[in-house]
Amino acid sequence: MKKVFIQELNATCQLVDSYQDLRKKDLISIVRGAYMNPNSFESKIELLQKLFICPPDVWAVLIRPENRDEFWRLIQQLDWILKGPDFRPVASIRIRGQEMHLPDNDLAQVKTAEFVVATAHLIGFHSAKKDAIAIESLARFMATIARPKPGIMERIKRADGDQDPREELSTARADKRADLFKKADLVTMIIAAQWFNNAANKMLAAYGMNGGDPEAAPISQGIFVQDWERQIVRVAESQVYGGYDQVMARPLADVLAFIELKNDELRRKAQAGKNGR
């Protein structure tokens, strides 16, 4: 919470300024208010009413025409809503009576193949010029990361220690489910996509890879997939986890740790070469 001083009434109020200050049950409704008509002044007033905690007399003074500048100053501090949360908004999404489970909060259970496929769809969603294409990409993204529990045979075959509550990723099954996700709540899917993007960028940054730079030029799906294809081939050539398919089946954190190690070796060799001149 951020303290806000209203000079006209000599009153100190509070402004919610992060997702961490929201109750989970309020999260979706707040985002819906921000997204359904984000350019409407009326919707911004309604949103601020939910997030600015003050007595009624303070609010009455705040909305007077002469206090428009102060009012806009508060509204402009709500841009955090559009950036998405740093925590998983929901554990699952119910589609046609079946629970589709999201990955864990820190993406520790996400396999490399899932990350590559999901992020490619996410890039498609963010870069789409038409609403229909954006919704298609978002549905494919959700069908990739939100999956039901595995069947009995899959649970038996699973490697020891694999605690992922979701069935193994199958792009064929995900493609078939994409149409179902087109009918899911749009705001819930958007906030899940924002969370996944934030969590992935945090993980990439933790392992010394670029991620989450808001000023960076947008990347295309093709470039992203090609770059990760090269990274995975490099790891597969080392045989530390096995071949290409085995690398794609490893948790993303394992692969990132290895890439960071190899990149660090390359940097040390390059520095040693410079020092040896």
Rounded-to-integer distance, Cα 276 and Cα 261, Å: 22
**Distance spanning both ends of the chain, measured CA to CA:** 55
- Give the E-state strand segments of the chain in sequence order: 2-6, 11-15, 52-53, 92-95, 98-101
For the segment 88-104, what is each residue's pLDDT rounded down to a tens digit?
999 999 998 999 999 99
Whether the Cβ atoms of residue 62 and residue 70 lie closer than 8 Å to each other: yes
Question: What's the pLDDT tens digit per position in 117-136?
Answer: 999 999 999 889 899 999 99
For the segment 5-31, the average pLDDT, to the nearest whole number, is: 85
| Residue 277, pLDDT above cutoff 70 | no
For 51-131, list the strands marked E by DSSP: 52-53, 92-95, 98-101
CA 78/CA 144 separation, integer angstroms: 30
Mean pLDDT, the chain, as a whole number?
87
More confident residue, 25 or 216: 25
pLDDT for 217 beyond 70: no
Say which DSSP state 146 is in: -
What average pLDDT does range 76-80 have in this prediction?
Answer: 89
Give the C-alpha separation, 110 to 145, whole Å.
9
Would you give the distance in Å from CA 260 to the centre of its chain?
22
pTM: 0.83
Q: Which residues, 6 or more positions from 53, have their beta carbon under 8 angstroms from its beta carbon?
A: 1, 13, 14, 15, 16
